Every structure is written in C-alpha cells, then in structure tokens.
Chain A
Amino acid sequence: MTTPPPSASEPALLEVHDLRVHFPITRGVIFRRTVGQVHAVDGLSLKLATAETVGLVGESGSGKTTLGRAIVGLLPPTSGTILFRGQPFSGRGTARNQAGRSQLQMVFQDPTASLDPRWRAGASIAEPLRVNHIGTRAERRERVSELLEVVGLSPVHARRYPHELSGGQRQRVGLARALALNPAVIVADEAVSALDVSIRAQVINLLQQLQDELKLSYLFIAHDLAVVRHLSNRVAVMYLGQIVEQATAADLYSDARHPYTVSLLSAVPVPDPLVEAGRQRIVLPGDPPNPASPPPGCRFHTRCWLRERLGNPERCAAEEPAHQHVSASHTAACHYAHEVPENVRLSTVGPTAEPAP
C-alpha cells in the first residue's frame, strides 16, 4: 500500500508509518506453537496534526482499537514506526520514552471498567501524577480539583467512588485522568459510545471545548459515523487492518469513493423519517472475514457490491489496490474508485444538501 499524503502543509504531530500489529494464534499448552497470525493492523499509515481530530471508523475486528492501543504504547507494534514530534516512539519503558508517553493519553470506552471501583475518583485522576512523581500530595490534590472543574465536575466529586457517579460523570473522570499530564494527543476509543444520548451530547461538546482551549489532538475511534462526522476534521475508514479511504470529513460523507465506505454510510439509519423513506441502501452480504486469513487481493472483494456490478473483475481478487487520489486530501484504496456511480454516492446519505442555517 502506498502512503496517503500529508493532509496539509502543517507538520504532523504524530505520524504512523506502515504500522503492523500481529497477534500470534497459539495451540497447545506445554508445547505452545504458533499456528497463525491475526493481522489486526496490517500496514497502516496515518498522520495527526496539532489540534486536529482524525476520526477512525470501522466495524469490530477492523483493528481500530489495536491501532489506538499501539499508538499510546499499550501494545508493541510488530513492525513500522510511530513518530511523535518527529522522534521515534515505541511506548516501551526507557526514561526518554516516559516523557513522550505522557503526551499520548487514552480515554476508554467503558468508564465503569476503566476506573478502579475501590478508588475514589480523585485517586484515579491523581494516579498519572503520582506515577510520574509530579508535585507534592497537596499540589496533586489542587491539580485534581482543577482538572475536575476543567471537565465540568466540581471538586467534591474527588471524594466519590465510581459507583456513586453517573455514567456521564465517570466518563468525565476518565477524561480528567487523561488530561492530568497535559497531553498533546488523546486517543478516544469509543469514548462516548456507552453513554445515553443526552449525556453523549454533553461529553461531545466538552471534547470540542477542551480541544479549543488546550489545542489537543484527538484520534477519535468510533463506530457511530454521525458522531465521527461531527467531531472530526479528517476521517479514516478501516477494514481488516487497513485504511481503505481517507478524506476530510466533509468529502468523505458527501463523496465517498470506496465501496465499503459507501455501504457503511448507507447502512447507518438517519434520524429523519423523510430521508429514511427516500434512501437507497446497500446492504452488504455476510460478515467481515476473519482477520487471521484476510482474502487475497483487495480485502473487501468478497463482500463488494461494486465488484459485482462491474462483472466481478479478476483484478480485485488478485491485486491489492493502492491508494488512489480523488483529490489532494482524499484517497481511496480501490481499483475502481472512480466507478462508484454518483447517484449511489448521493443517495446513500440522503438529501443532506440543505445548508445549515
């Protein structure tokens, strides 16, 4: 796969180049042997600029969580490089890395699972400070109060245990903990997916407000395409460990070129009955293939509706497609990216041309 181009002239804060994360599949207990590899992330390149949000969408098993974890150093990459401010970053334990590491933080999906139930919220938020020997006890307490206010809670919440907080409040605590070390990048892995609709909107607004105030960069991993569209400057679509399409959010949603992106967009129900009634939907057959044995050629060819319309060209099954440029900031890894009919591209998202007032 070729590397998608840098998004703009801006230097990248974080640069992922040809990253691979493979997990061994083992058999046997005493004589453990590796019988295969799950190619969770397989040759992926991505850039993230300062104060930019890149949305990462894809179905379960597409490797988006693995990518996020590899970036913050929670998983060792099999190969490839991660550059943070131009320096190689591996996430593994040297003193120099430790400093870089504090700059990359993660917010997890399930705030109930990511907070220790026996710790008060304040202790969880102070943990990154304690681990890094920052400040005295009193200074840390001060900083915790400050962080709680930044995320829209009050200092009294520091005394609460997770079970005494609502789901939205727990996610705010998770966010406060991620902000404790003044990071430059936050990887938000389905950070709002578990929240109720009205609470989700509050946290989404909070994420935007924090980005404006602190110049944070987000890698926003989610399966909810509407939320990703709302928050992201650029969006990358993943399928079986690879990015299949990458574009600015506006382009991706109005002019998708990869048949997988088109079908994803068409699969999402739109909260408007008039739009729903008039939409054309492309329902993909089957489930995503097993990432342990991805199909040869284009990984999507086994479920591809476009290939079927084009009379099943052999090329899709034989040759891995390179990223083609649709425009300077828009690439799609499909041999026939230019063949996606315009009426399909438009009808999948519905008549959304009405300008925002």
Chain B
Amino acid sequence: MSADGRAQTATGDPLLRVRDLIVRFDSGRNVVYAVNGVSFDLEAGGALGLVGESGSGKSVTSLAILRLLPRPAAKIVTGEIRLGGRDLIRLSDREMRRLRGKEMSLVPQDPLSGLNPVLTIGEQVVETLRAHENMRRREARDRAAELLGTVGIPRPADQLDRYPHQFSGGMRQRVLIAIALALRPTLLIADEPTTALDVTVQAQVLELLHDLTAQRGTAILLISHDLGIMARMTRRIMVMYAGYVVESAPTAEIFARPAHPYTAGLLRSIPRVGDAGRPLTPIVGSPPESGRLPRGCPFAPRCAWALDVCWQEMPPLDPVDAVSYSGGPPPGGHLLACHNPVAADEVEGGRPLRPGFRPAPPPEDGLVAQGTT
C-alpha cells in the first residue's frame, strides 16, 4: 500500500534491475532465443506481474534471475541482472547459493515437485534455515514450527514430522511459502504459485502471499497467465510475447488502456461476468513456435493492426507518447513496443476502427527462421 508512494519517490537504485537480458537455448540441433532483450526494474516492496502465454519467456526470465537455468542447454547470452547493486551474472555458483533463499527465493508452480518427498516437512524447513544461519538444530526446529504457524498451518509443531504426501496441495504450497519467506528475503519470485490449486484454496494462498509480502516489505515478482490474479496482486504488469516485453504499465493502466494489440487481444479473450453470451474476440492464430520467429515484430502474423514496417523491424520498448494522457504520464511510465498502437476507442471492440484499414500482409519472403539459419 505505502510502497506505491515509495516507488515514486525512490531516487536510488531499484531492488532488482534487469537490462537487455538475452537467454538462448541450444539443444545441439537448434538454437532458440527464449528471452530477447528484456529490461525492467522492480523497486523494494513492489509487486510486478509478468503476463504471457506458454513460451513467452516469463518463466525463463525468472529462472535467469535466480540463475537456475538448466545447464548446459540454456545460456545467458548478454544482459545485466542486479539485485541490490550486485551483478548476479558475475557471481560464482557458491555466491549464488548463499544468495538464494536468503535474499531472493522462489515459490514454484507445482507444490509436489517443489518439496522432497522423502524428507519430512520439518527437515526441509530446518535445512533452509541452517544452510544460511548459524543455528542449532533445536532452535531451527522451533523456528520452523513458528514459520509454519505464520503461513496458517494448524498445529505446526505436530506437522514437522509429517511428509509432503500427507499434506493437501494448498498446505504444501503454504509450506513452500514458509520456506521461501523463512529468511526474510527482499525479493520473492512466485511462478504461477496457485495454478495447481482449487479456487477457494487459491484465494487463501493469494491472500497469504499478499499479506506476508506487504507486512515485511518483500518485493514480489509474480508470474501468471491469469489476468484476474494480476489485477488482485500487482501494482505493475509487464506483458511478454515470444521472449520480448511488448508492454509495461501500472496495473490499472494496463486494464483501462492497453496499447499493444496483444494486450488488448488478451483482455478481449477472457470472458467477463458483465458480458456473458457475447462472443469473445480471440487473437487469431497461435503463438509462434520458438525458433520460427518472423523478422520483425513476433506478433505481426496475428496482429489486426499490422503495418508493413511490422514485418521488417521489431519496435523498441519506448514510453507511450505522454500527449495522449490528460493528467500526464502514469507513475513508472507506460512502455510499449509497437509501431501501430491500439487507440483508446478500439480497446473495447478489440479491432482497428480506422476506415479502410487492413492489416499489412506478410512480405514475399515470409517468415525468417530465427537462429536456425
């Protein structure tokens, strides 16, 4: 709540600063660029959402930040990832291990694979505590019980000796949140933290994540494809497509005034309670296969707003023209990578309204396979 004000007044470095991150997967036979030059900042105590469909590079971005990319297939080609001023890319594995868990941690998507099935819950929480802090076993166990209590696990002391399979999905996710927050990290990365859970349990877990991060001033990088969760949990949203950030703006701004055709398309693709029965306006086609990107904007083949230039050149991520806002640009800025943005009156219908406008057809030479040629 107060972090909004902080975000605007902060003059120093942001907590997390990512610049021009490029991640490449090389399977020997083909090369895929999963992240194509991603840049963003996350201030201390902030809440940033990463939205995108499968293959958009959102999980790879988060794994790159944690330096947990699968080796040797994936490689950070270039880029800078700074957490509290330190460049993570230059740290040794040993230094990274010291950092993970203590300064930044991850709540993974699948609570079952996030826990070790042959260790008790207590052992797993104690392990995290003792890996980073000089703590006696006894002391760590007491601390572990206390932590399980904070995430709302009933009778925490009795649960320490139970195994993951004895817990429900929601309870397991609470354990993972307890482990992730055990050492009060400054950054929490949550990758689809509730996708595996039922709605009522999802509501519990979201509330818990929200309350704990707000209380402790933990910054959260939330990855999800669910725009409802984004609306509830984040203050800023970054939309990714085919490894590029295509739009980034304060949450309210993204929903009220999406400027990228993909963002507008996503919003028109989800049924809303208010307009039942009306056909949705889906985005045509499917996301590009990684490794088969067009030369210009990767969204051009599906875009109703495409111009000729879109097939040739990927637009840079620039601030949206401030003139179009009556009250000046929104705090944090509205960034957009698009040659032909969606106008305010076109958002609702989800298609261009300019008379006679037709999307530019692909050029003669068509798609250019990226990386393979």
Interface of B is mostly: helix
Residues of A within 8 Å of B232, CB to CB, are: 269-270, 273, 276
With most chain A CB atoms within 10 A of its CB, the pick from B274, B282, B348 is: B274
Q: Chain A, 34-67, contact with B by CB distance < 8 Å: what is the 0/1 string? A: 0000000000000000000000000110000000
> Is the CB of A284 closer than 8 A to any CB of chain B?
yes
Chain A nearest CB from B301 CB (Å) reads 13
Which among A22-30, A136-144, A225-233, A315-323 touches the partner chain? A225-233
Interface residues as binary, B187-229 with A (CB distance below 8 Å gives 1, 0 otherwise): 0000000000011111110110000000000000000011111
User: Does the CB pair B229–A269 fall under 8 Å?
Assistant: yes
Determine the distance from Cα of A59 to Cα of B199 in the docked complex, in whole angstroms: 7
> Is B199 a contact of A264 with CB atoms below 8 Å?
yes
The one of B53, B199, B227 in contact with A223, judged by C-beta atoms closer than 8 angstroms, is B199
B251's contact among A202, A273, A288, by CB below 8 Å, is which?
A273
For chain A, what secondary structure do more than half of its interface residues adopt (helix, strand, loop), or is it mixed? helix
| Interface members, chain A 254-302 (any B CB < 8 Å) | 263-264, 266-276, 281, 283-285, 287-288
**Hey, which chain B residues are within 8 Å of A225, CB to CB?**
199
Instruction: Kindly list chain B residues whose C-beta atoms are within 8 Å of the C-beta of A352.
Output: 272-274
Measured in the bound complex, the distance between the Cα atoms of B286 and A349 in whole Å is 32
Interface bin, chain B: 35 or more
B271 contact from A226, A250, A283, A357, Cβ within 8 A: A226
- The complex places the Cα of A202 from the Cα of B269 at a distance, in Å, of 8
Report if A270-B231 is in contact (Cβ < 8 Å); known contacts: A196-B54, A201-B283, A287-B168.
yes
Contact of B273 among A199, A200, A349 (CB under 8 A): A349
CA distance A200 to B207 in the complex (A): 27
CA–CA, A23 and B238, complex, Å = 46
Chain A CB within 8 A of B109 CB: no
Q: Are B269 and A197 in contact (CB-based, < 8 A)?
A: yes
Chain B residues whose C-beta falls within 8 Å of the C-beta of A59 in the assembled complex: 198-201
Contacts of A168 in B (CB 8 A): 286
The docked-state distance in angstroms from the alpha carbon of A202 to that of B229 is 22
Whether B200 lies near A197 (C-beta < 8 A) is no
Interface string of A81-106 (1 = CB under 8 A from B): 00000000000000000000000000
For the complex, what is the distance from the CA of A284 to the CA of B205, rounded to whole Å?
Answer: 11
User: Which residues of A (195-229) have their CB < 8 Å from a CB of B?
Assistant: 196-202, 204-205, 208, 223, 225-227, 229
In chain A, what residue has the closest Cβ to B201?
A287
Chain B residues within 8 Å of A274, by CB: 252, 255
Given contacts A168-B286, A197-B266, A201-B268, 11 further A-B pairs with CB under 8 A are A59-B199, A59-B201, A202-B282, A225-B199, A230-B271, A271-B255, A283-B200, A350-B273, A352-B272, A352-B274, A357-B348
Jot down 14 A-B pairs with beta carbons below 8 A, ordered by A.
A167-B54, A196-B54, A197-B53, A197-B266, A205-B279, A225-B199, A229-B271, A249-B276, A268-B199, A271-B270, A273-B255, A274-B252, A283-B204, A354-B274
Which A positions have Cβ atoms within 8 angstroms of B? 59-60, 166-169, 196-202, 204-205, 208, 223, 225-227, 229-230, 249-250, 253, 263-264, 266-276, 281, 283-285, 287-288, 349-350, 352, 354, 356-357
